[in-house]
Structure 1
């Protein structure tokens, strides 16, 4: 039994996926053999912003092995235009052709597609496609986008300001006027990209006789993807099957239907032959979805003790050239949840999102990644300005256990979280007071140490009510089915799309718990729209709460049906039987005893002896369930990071990293720990190194290879110490809260706060990422440490 009384949930079981994935037996898109498949290669714009004067594909079409070359004009009649236009105040609609017809909007924009008998011929032919461009001035920075005379990225828009939302709650101005001090802080997060090991790719196979498209693609959201693909092709959903096999990472990059994938589908239908496409790493860095790039400013009114009286937030976000998601979505979430675990009644925000001549933005693991750095970084700055201990300021402003459920200024409700407890847990683990003594001693020796603390409230599972309240189209529900076969084995499915999270392991444990069988009896089926029920897929951290929760509830329905049959067979009351480890137990003589019925016995009756079923019970054991989660489910964690700063080189070395996490009921400890390690590593890597850099004059991508886009390795990532402090959520199935993105948020905040703690004696503050040695040296140049600076 686990600590919470569960038998399967929370058990330490090896990931069942690993046997095939680690031995090279996984089945990714490139492992799928399709006889006679053609290969696609895209001609991409070398310019960030240019009119397309002409495209001449004559030379390419004449090359041996080339089957077709398609331009935007060729593809347009066979697809609908992409339109992103939710009815949200302050949001401009955006439209786009499948391939550009009139102009390109970023370097790497696809302008033509070459189809050939193999990839190499297609690449060679792509170089023979001649495109004449009329180069236009590029919009490469947020300031350029907002300039009064800025070139328009999208000619159909009135300006480059895609979205502008603002709101004020409480008495912000009055609190500012009456404050002991108003502290202003700036934060800048650089543009990054998802960098999955497996780049984007797909295989389209059109059956002209059946008028049916089989589309194999690595996607996080199989059913919404199918709906969009069918709609853009003017097909019914019954004419399209989407299959997503093993996927080598997504992190948000594999949610949208991309223009390249849609073009491949059109090509397969026109040629009536299978067509496949795989982007290379350079294409992935140049033309796939990107993320982050926020400039933020906080103004916080405080009293003399550091108590927060009001918060004013400004966000500027660069959304890139195309809108595959509502433009308000990413930054708006930051604005709605920024106050997190702190008591702040007076709050105002202003959020502006611009378009630019860069790759379009989309969600990346923790689209609200900057949130906790904004809040805890602001608190650190308050402590520094007032000469107070940063932990004392946190304790003063943190919500108490008695405050929950707590309605934030924006109307979001926090419940069943423990940020004060995780903060105290992580402080005890690092021995906060002892570290401050060690830090002071090190400074006297000329060594520079820094400690960063960050407490995270992670929004994990967005219910439909949240989307409605935020003005964002979409559903938060999930769907599942559980089927017990005549032999007693259990098949189950849910609408998630796995991209390496370990769903097959964790979800099997949820089903096993709900049904009362060993998890080894359960097989999870994912990623096939003809098999899985229509669900909302994998995004955010909804896999555990929405996916696992729905399966758990569905399995409980199955258990009740099984026990009804068992009780009827045994001629005992329903409350006298239970299911455990795949066998029916009967309560007799004050104890539970094996009743001599296994799940296989019940299944044989249900399928093969329907006359023996209870009255009114239909043959078979197949169950379906949909589940609508609460408007928002939160988990929480606290992170502590200790760094050593080399003031000569600007180098940062992480000496210790500790995280205390409460993510509710844990389905699989192995999966959860892996997700925590991965998320923290991603946050540290992004803060230390990763940067999609563009030339501010031309809009050229300066980081188009892994020699330029740096990623942290095992050398830079420290040993990560995890402290489990899980408490159940009382509003979700089994008490699940979800997790997977909070580690990114906490790592960013803890590392940046640690670096600024180290920099404090020098009177400078790092406001931008990545915190490269060059950047830190620029801050430290000519500075001397002052002993009395905090």
Structure 2
């Protein structure tokens, strides 16, 4: 048996985290109770833009059970603003105070906080707080924000254009002059929000004696969150502990330090009592954070065969009222990776981001979701313009295996990806030629079928070098520790925090692989800043690659020490012929691995309790700490094929078939990977067909409930066919490439492209989403 035979990676083990959840023994924020806890509720602005003239909380203050009523002015002296000012050309610095003092910027802006002994009392008291507003003109979309004389969302800026970056590679003008045709395409993605099952909330506990704050909060990034919170309260990081319990969904919404959480922490310190807050669903939909809302235009210079000679990209993004993240962050990533699987070297982009009187934007699962729709939609537009088959256009322009590693025009490097292979597998699986024949036959019967093909290159693990080159502040490294107790029990930790991804399962596999133990014997400790090492947390598709990678490396480091101790106990000169498998020390003899009689428990007892038997100079104990900074970027890839039927009488869209061919590298846990593929693709379908936050011209949110903000249910989501085509990444410790957001990208592209294909006989171009029945009927009426 070889060492490869002992690998545990890729085993279809049951998810370790599911047992307590299925038994109803999960520990979410609302399960944490402390005596004497107070409850906070917020008074929110009904206006999108207004001056604050007066806030009168006197009536609320004398109500039974009310402890205090505070405003931004009350808390300003106890806190410092959040300043977002990375030194990036074209990005304007912004600041956020704990609560507005003189002006509100969007409907739902929190203006006061009531703290009472009971949540219901606090909510009732909020109704009595009198706020006098002077309504101001609101800017409710990108064009209005940049119109001459537009009201300023942030009065410290000279315009609402908060970020503007351009880039050019190659000789775009020359290629356009040489082109046979210029093909233009437009895309618009509606505003969305994350809608996690568990809304935002926190429980802040101040220890006056120790001068220490414990913050229980569902956060994806415990350590960066702690750093930000401590700074805002004028505390050192050693005075703050962040504990993240089980999280009922996050999807990027639980990364930032929000003003409500910040205020609750400040109030716990002021009142010297535990204070908790839980937002309701309306608050979450209106005031948590939003995402998307992009307008994109591409112009492609092409030859007569459909080869793209040059490409230009214009992006306009509506970022809302506040910058909890650098305003260039989300759209800039789209621009940098847009060309994806295609051979394009002459390329330029213009990215503009505006502030508006809406809830502020942040990352949502696949902040670059629009990327594949834009690129694949451009390919379809080229095919339409030249009368070519869209698959032939893709084949002509696509990167070939011999082109790898391939440097994109923005300098990003693609390696160990298989876009051509996944596309061909998808085409074969859906019987592309057979579909086209069936499609033509059905059109004669009044049945309108369409096939959307979306080739995805998913940016996953953002290393520190990517952030630096992209002009985005931040680090991409991750840290971990692995510790063996004297009994042989295995503990491990990493700076990530799970919100449903299955980290306890997949990361235990990485530890087990590196160390040589059973995955069930690994106890993973996450989400506690006093226990876990400082890491950058969970975002994007970095969990398996950055988190799993560093845990594998830490396990290997510790295994080397274990084997060195074993070699000494066995009177061997070196550990080269030893290994540990499932906690048992084995020796390679006569071509076979033979048990030596030593176990991990034996080694651990020696390391801790009989250190004089250790090799000379070796420290007692068995623990290791490791940091790992991934490559500048890792990429996974996939191809999504979606077949739909469109009822032209009603505009109804039915997904008949959905196929995914995925290459995410070495799979840590196939159960987790499949779940991530299903969940991400379902989210992409929701955005493509149903979900949109809609504001009117006055900045009023018209989609503040699930009656208006539509989410797909199990009835609307199809079954997914998944074909695995996993090839390892040669630069990551585990061979993983990362995944979890590509499904959003694939569905965001495949679904509208399939609808456009079904409506092609009517000369209709689908240029925005969600593609609702009303929108389809409107497009058909325009063509009738």
Identify whether the pair has TM-score above 0.5, normalized to the shorter chain.
Answer: yes
Say which SS state the counterpart of residue 458 (structure 2) adopts: strand
Q: How does 1:628-639 map to 2 (within 5 A)?
A: 628-639=629-640
Instruction: Report the equivalent of 1:582.
Output: 583
Deviates more, 1:652-661 or 1:570-579: 570-579
| Cα separation, 2, equivalents of 1:655 and 1:555 | 46
Q: Deviations over 1:711-766 (max 9, x none)?
A: 00111100011111000000001211110000000011010110110111000111
Partner of 2:77, secondary structure, is helix
- Tell me, yes or no, if the aligned pair for 2:548 and 2:734 is still in contact at 8 Å: no
Distance in structure 2 (CA, Å) of the matches to 1:57 and 1:659: 56
Measure, in 2, the Cα distance between the counterparts of 1:141 and 1:370.
Answer: 19
Deviations 1:281-303 (A, max 9, x none): 00000100100000000000111
User: Quick one: distance in 1 between partners of 2:353 and 2:279?
Assistant: 29
Alpha-carbon deviation of 1:8? 1.3
- C-alpha separation in 1, matches of 2:589 and 2:315: 65
Cα distance in 2 for partners of 1:310, 1:706 equals: 43
Map residues 30-45 of structure 1 onto 2, 5 A cutoff: 30-45=30-45
The answer on whether the counterparts of 2:665 and 2:728 sit within 8 Å (CA) in structure 1 is yes
- How do residues 553-592 of structure 1 correspond to structure 2 at under 5 angstroms? 553-572=553-572, 573-592=574-593
Query: TM-score, normalising length from structure 2?
Result: 0.99
Question: Alpha-carbon deviation of 1:316?
Answer: 0.2
Match of residue 347 from structure 1: 347
What does residue 722 of structure 2 align with? 722
8 Å Cα contact 1:310-1:346 kept in structure 2: yes
What does residue 594 of structure 1 align with? Answer: 595
Q: Structure 1, unaligned stretches of length 5 or more? A: 785-790
Residue 659 of structure 1 corresponds to 660
Deviation at 1:586, TM superposition (A): 1.2
Equivalent position SS for 2:675 = helix
The Cα offsets for residues 200-221 of structure 1, whole Å up to 9 and x where unpaired, read as: 0000000000000000000000
- Alpha-carbon shift at residue 783 of structure 1 (Å): 3.7
Q: Secondary structure at the match of 2:576?
A: helix
Distance 1:595 1:194 in 2: 54
Q: What are the equivalent positions in structure 2 for 1:605-644 lying under 5 Å apart?
A: 605-644=606-645
What is the Cα deviation at residue 591 of structure 1? Answer: 2.2
Counterparts in 2 of 1:221-620, with a 5 A limit?
221-572=221-572, 573-620=574-621
Q: Deviations over 1:440-486 (max 9, x none)?
A: 11011111000000000000000001111111111000000000111
In 1, Cα distance between equivalents of 2:145 and 2:75: 30
Residues 371/343 of structure 1: CA separation in 2 closer, same or farther (3 Å cut)? same
Partner of 2:198: helix, strand, or coil? Answer: coil
Q: Match of 2:217?
A: 217
Cα distance in 1, alignment partners of residues 161 and 367 from structure 2:
20
User: Distance between the aligned counterparts of 2:158 and 2:211, measured in 1?
Assistant: 41
Structure 2 CA distance for aligned equivalents of residues 125 and 761 of structure 1: 60
The structure-2 alpha-carbon separation of the partners of 1:511 and 1:339, relative to structure 1 and needing over 3 Å to count, comes to same
Report the alpha carbon displacement of residue 571 of structure 1 after superposing the two structures with TM.
Answer: 1.0
Q: In structure 2, what is the equivalent of residue 788 of structure 1?
A: none
Q: Distance in 2 between matches of 1:207 and 1:581?
A: 44
1:21 Cα deviation from its structure 2 partner: 1.2
Contact 1:38 1:276 in 2 (8 A): yes
Identify if the C-alpha distance between structure 1 residues 12 and 149 changes in structure 2 by more than 3 Å, giving closer, same or farther. Answer: same
Distance 1:452 1:647 in 2: 18
User: Against the structure 1 CA distance between its residues 6 and 773, is the aligned structure 2 distance closer, same or farther, given a 3 Å change threshold?
Assistant: farther
Q: CA deviation at 1:140?
A: 0.1
- Kindly indicate whether the alpha-carbon contact (under 8 Å) linking 1:57 and 1:128 is maintained by their aligned counterparts in 2: yes
TM-score (norm 1): 0.98
User: Per-residue displacement from partner, 1:124-152 (whole Å, max 9, x unpaired)?
Assistant: 00000000000000100111001011000
Q: 1:687 maps to which residue?
A: 688
Partner in structure 2 of residue 671 of structure 1: 672
State the Cα deviation string for residues 624-668 of structure 1 (Å, max 9, x = none). Answer: 000010000000000000000000000000000000000000100
SS in 2 for 1:781: helix
User: Number of aligned pairs?
Assistant: 783
- Within a 5 Å distance, the mapping from 1:55-70 to structure 2 comes to 55-70=55-70
Distance 2:375 2:707 in 1: 33
SS of residue matched to 1:140: coil
CA distance in 1, matches of 2:589, 2:570: 12
What secondary structure sits across from 1:479 in the alignment?
Answer: strand
Structure 1, residues 506-552: CA drift from partner, whole Å, max 9, x if none?
00000000011111110000000000000000011100000000000
Superposed displacement of residue 556, structure 1: 0.5
Cα deviation, residue 4, structure 1: 7.0
What SS does the aligned partner of 1:574 have?
A: coil
Query: What are the Cα deviations for residues 313-349 of structure 1, in whole angstroms up to 9, with x where unaligned?
Result: 0000000000010110000000000000100010010
Question: CA contact under 8 A between 1:2 and 1:9: conserved in structure 2?
Answer: no
SS at match of 1:206: strand
Q: Give the C-alpha shift of residue 23 in structure 1.
A: 2.2
Separation of aligned partners in 2, 1:98 and 1:778 = 44
Contact kept, 8 Å, 1:17 with 1:502, in 2: the verdict is yes
2:188 and 2:60 map into 1 onto residues whose CA distance is: 45
CA separation in 2, counterparts of 1:580 and 1:735? 20
In 1, the alpha carbon distance for the partners of 2:617 and 2:404 equals 45
How far off its partner does 1:385 sit?
Answer: 1.0
What is the distance in 2 between the residues matched to 1:749 and 1:332?
Answer: 19
Q: 1:77 aligned to 2:71?
A: no
Q: CA deviation at 1:195?
A: 0.5
Structure 1 residue 6, shift from structure 2 partner = 5.5
Pairwise CA RMSD? 1.0
CA distance in 2, matches of 1:53, 1:312: 47
Residues 2 and 11 in structure 1, CA contact (< 8 A), matched pair in contact too: no
- Note closer, same or farther for the CA distance 1:683–1:566 as it changes in structure 2 (3 Å cut): same
Aligned-partner Cα distance in 1 for 2:5–2:443? 50
Deviation at 1:7, TM superposition (A): 2.2
